[in-house]
């Protein structure tokens, strides 16, 4: 029996949302139970250390799936983004998200194969590389502004509830789903704002050591804010699991895209 490519891509997307949710739950668990702050890469390293090898395998597969789905959305507009600059920006964001998740999957594969784990500040290392490029200071400043913009957009969603628009209507109307999403997006928004601030100060000072990612942002927060944000990240993980089950994922017009590709081939 032939496999439906559209159904396969839908399954990949759901697997990806589940993997993202599990990873955020691990990050929150480490903060709440051990006071240990980690970014996604660090949480993968924690699982690889023996704390959850099989969970790492599942998350790795999920990130590959999610990355493929997001890149497919960027290329073929699977999620039906509107025409114009706004839709183009959303597709570019989808492509960037796909690349990030495939990179995390690559890191996880290296961990599964026993490759040495980097204990450095990934944001600092990236900033150091950028500063050695022509216009590197400007790159850091622009990157910081982008992160601030993403953080603000996440916080706006806590008011607009845009994150519910992609869910099945019966689930999206449930109050617990709305508040789970609100808490999750508020926490993520705050983390983006802090990391954006870190990158801006690194750019203005031209000091890579002043950059920081999620791990540094969580460590920078004082009590009780670190606990509150960790709880919010746990809520984001739960909301991602809700998306894995109830997100409306549009069918992919695979046959139509194939016909368009064949029509462009030279006769």
Tell which phi-psi region holds residue 4, choosing left (phi > 0), alpha (psi between -120 and 50) or beta.
beta
Q: How many domains in the chain?
A: 2
Q: Which domain holds residue 191?
A: 120-240
Average pLDDT over residues 181-197: 97
Q: Considering the domain boundaries, does residue 246 fall inside one?
A: no
Q: Are residues 181 and 200 in the same domain?
A: yes
104 and 134, same domain (yes or no): no
What's the mean per-residue pLDDT of the chain? 86
- Flag whether pLDDT at 189 surpasses 80: yes
Same domain, 181 and 211: yes
Please indicate, yes or no, whether residues 7 and 94 belong to a single structural domain of this protein: yes
Q: Is 127 found in the same domain as 112?
A: no
Same domain? For 157 and 236 the reply is: yes
- Same domain assignment for residues 6 and 94: yes
SS3 190: helix
- pLDDT band per the 50, 70, 90 thresholds, residue 107: confident
Distance CA 245, CA 240 (A): 9
Whether 257 is in a domain gets the answer: no
Last residue of a domain, one of 50, 83, 118: 118
Least confident of 108-117, 132-141, 232-241, 242-251: 108-117
Q: 171 with 84, same domain?
A: no
- The predicted pLDDT at position 2 comes to 47
Instruction: Mark which of 118, 145, 174 sits at the end of a domain.
Output: 118
Residue 261 belongs to some domain of the structure: no
Whether residues 36 and 91 fall in one domain? yes
- For residue 41, tell me if it sits in a domain: yes
pLDDT tens profile 221-256: 999 999 999 999 999 999 999 999 999 887 655 555
Position 264 in a domain: no
pLDDT tens digits along 39-96: 888 888 888 877 678 888 888 888 998 888 888 888 888 777 788 888 888 888 888 8
In 3D space, the residue among 51, 34, 6 whose CA is nearest the CA of residue 22 turns out to be 51
Element of type H or E holding 244: helix 225-246
Residue that has been written with the tokens 């493929």 in this structure:
68
Q: What is the pLDDT of residue 57?
A: 87
Q: Does residue 15 share a domain with residue 81?
A: yes
Per-residue pLDDT at 1 exceeds 50? no
Q: How many residues does the chain have?
A: 267
Q: What is the pLDDT of residue 89?
A: 84
Report pLDDT for 188.
Answer: 95
Residues 66 and 159 in one domain: no
**Is position 236 within any domain?**
yes
Task: Write down which residue in 56, 91, 118 finishes a domain.
Answer: 118
Say which residue the tokens 């954006």 belong to.
Answer: 196
């Amino acid at each position: 029996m032939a496999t439906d490519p559209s159904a396969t891509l839908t399954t990949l997307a759901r697997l990806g949302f589940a993997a993202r949710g599990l990873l955020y739950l691990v990050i929150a668990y480490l903060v709440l139970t051990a006071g240990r702050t980690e970014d996604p890469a660090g949480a993968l390293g924690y699982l690889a250390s023996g704390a959850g090898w099989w969970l790492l395998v599942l998350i790795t597969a999920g990130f590959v799936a999610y990355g493929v789905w997001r890149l497919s959305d960027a290329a073929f507009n699977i999620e039906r983004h509107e025409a114009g600059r706004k839709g183009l920006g959303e597709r570019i964001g989808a492509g960037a998200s796909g690349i990030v998740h495939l990179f995390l999957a690559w890191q996880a594969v290296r961990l599964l194969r026993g490759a040495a784990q980097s204990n450095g500040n990934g944001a600092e290392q990236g900033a150091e590389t950028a500063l050695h490029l022509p216009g590197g200071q400007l790159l850091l400043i622009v990157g910081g502004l982008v992160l601030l913009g993403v953080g603000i957009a996440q916080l706006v969603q806590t008011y607009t509830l845009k994150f519910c628009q992609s869910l099945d209507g019966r689930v999206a109307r449930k109050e617990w789903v709305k508040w789970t999403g609100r808490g999750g997006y508020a926490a993520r928004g705050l983390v983006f704002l802090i990391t954006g601030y870190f990158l801006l100060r690194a750019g203005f000072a031209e000091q890579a050591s002043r950059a920081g990612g999620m791990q540094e942002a969580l460590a920078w927060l004082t009590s009780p804010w670190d606990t509150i944000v960790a709880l919010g990240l746990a809520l984001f993980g739960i909301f991602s699991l809700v998306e894995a089950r109830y997100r409306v994922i549009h069918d992919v017009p695979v046959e139509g895209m194939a016909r368009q590709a064949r029509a462009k081939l030279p006769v």
